[in-house]
């Protein structure tokens, strides 16, 4: 087991959320967890991260953690005993109250609302799958939840685990500015509006004039409209048409008309 290093004064403070990650490759997390916001969250005592090498709970001197699948097929499967032993040994009395996730391409899709719920947990355990997957008995015994970060397959669960830690950590009070969380993508069921900064003109492209007007109400309306249009273009699955105002419905209709006018004639 290893715990990412923070200063002694901060390490003595109880963290708001404790993450325990079970993996065959702990070093994969060194970059994502030792830079930027995640690093600062640990230094401030907002989160704690424990990295646990599943091989430490292997039952033979060769530290074997995988085997061929029953029923045949390609690849190897992570064995149940070392995973179950690792999680039970680390969590101990917290086993029953810890949210245990298993990274799996076939799991339930990770969403912003799920991140918000996880941010309310005191302790979260994440088991990183590898090879063809994990012996299903480990998932059943631990009462774990298979979770996927998207409709694609990766070589292991470490990068998805890092994504979940990042998404949850930034929602914990005191990690980032609360206004940033409120305004960002998905918080209102919409993707975020486009952003601009200096210079005001770049290669013939100008800043939208409303952003230079100083009229905060107009800016807010423009940003909301842009969020609606971008959501329809890029993430229409997020739109709940039944809860849109008449003005929002009109914006959506206009966006659809523009898209229709721009569509190539077959």
Show the DSSP H helices in 59-172 as ranges. 80-91, 112-118, 136-142, 158-169
Q: What percent of the chain has pLDDT over 90?
A: 83
Q: How confident is the model at residue 263 (pLDDT cuts 50, 70, 90)?
A: low
Q: pLDDT tens, 60-84?
A: 999 999 999 999 999 999 999 999 9
Q: Which CATH architecture has domain 2-178?
A: 3-Layer(aba) Sandwich (3.40)
Say if residue 5's pLDDT is above 60: no
Domains 2-178 and 201-262 share a fold: no
Average pLDDT over every residue of 33-57: 97
Q: How confident is the model at residue 10 (pLDDT cuts 50, 70, 90)?
A: very low
Cα separations in angstroms, 56 against 2, 49, 203, 207: 11, 18, 57, 56
Q: How confident is the model at residue 2 (pLDDT cuts 50, 70, 90)?
A: low
Q: Which residue has the higher pLDDT, 82 or 15?
A: 82
Enumerate the domain spans of the chain: 2-178, 201-262
Average pLDDT over every residue of 48-52: 98
- Fold for the domain defined by 201-262: 1.10.1270
Average pLDDT over every residue of 226-230: 95
Cα 183 to the chain's mean position, in Å?
18
Q: Which residue has the higher pLDDT, 260 or 129?
A: 129
Q: Output b/e per residue, 88-118; b: 16+ Cβ within 10 A.
A: eebbeeebeebbbbbbbbebeebeeebbeeb
Q: pLDDT tens, 150-186?
A: 999 999 999 999 999 999 999 999 999 887 777 665 6
Question: For all residues of the chain together, what is the average pLDDT?
Answer: 91
Predicted pLDDT at 9: 44
Cα separations in angstroms, 192 against 158, 173, 182, 195: 28, 21, 11, 9
Q: How confident is the model at residue 8 (pLDDT cuts 50, 70, 90)?
A: very low
Cα separations in angstroms, 37 against 28, 41, 157: 17, 6, 21
């Amino acid at each position: 087991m290893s715990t990412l290093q923070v200063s002694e004064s901060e390490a003595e403070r109880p963290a708001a959320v404790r993450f325990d990650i079970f993996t065959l490759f702990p070093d994969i997390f060194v970059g994502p967890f030792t830079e930027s916001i995640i690093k600062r969250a640990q230094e401030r005592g907002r989160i704690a991260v424990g990295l646990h090498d599943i091989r430490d709970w292997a039952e033979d001197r060769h530290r074997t953690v995988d085997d061929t699948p029953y029923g045949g097929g390609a690849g190897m499967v992570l064995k149940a005993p070392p995973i179950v032993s690792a999680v039970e040994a680390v969590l101990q009395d917290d086993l029953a109250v810890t949210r245990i996730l298993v990274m799996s391409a076939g799991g339930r899709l990770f969403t912003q609302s799920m991140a918000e719920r996880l941010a309310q947990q005191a302790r979260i355990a994440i088991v990183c799958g590898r090879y063809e997957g994990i012996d299903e008995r480990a998932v059943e015994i631990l009462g774990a939840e298979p979770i996927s970060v998207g409709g694609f397959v990766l070589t292991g669960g470490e990068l998805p685990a890092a994504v979940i830690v990042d998404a949850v950590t930034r929602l914990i009070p005191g990690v980032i500015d609360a206004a940033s969380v409120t305004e960002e993508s998905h918080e209102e069921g919409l993707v975020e509006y486009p952003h601009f900064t200096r210079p005001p003109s770049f290669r013939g492209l100008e800043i939208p004039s409303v952003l230079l007007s100083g009229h905060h109400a107009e800016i807010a309306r423009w940003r909301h409209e842009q969020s609606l249009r971008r959501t329809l273009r890029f993430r229409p699955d997020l739109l709940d048409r039944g809860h849109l105002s008449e003005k929002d419905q009109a914006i959506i209709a206009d966006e659809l008309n523009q898209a229709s006018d721009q569509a190539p004639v077959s």
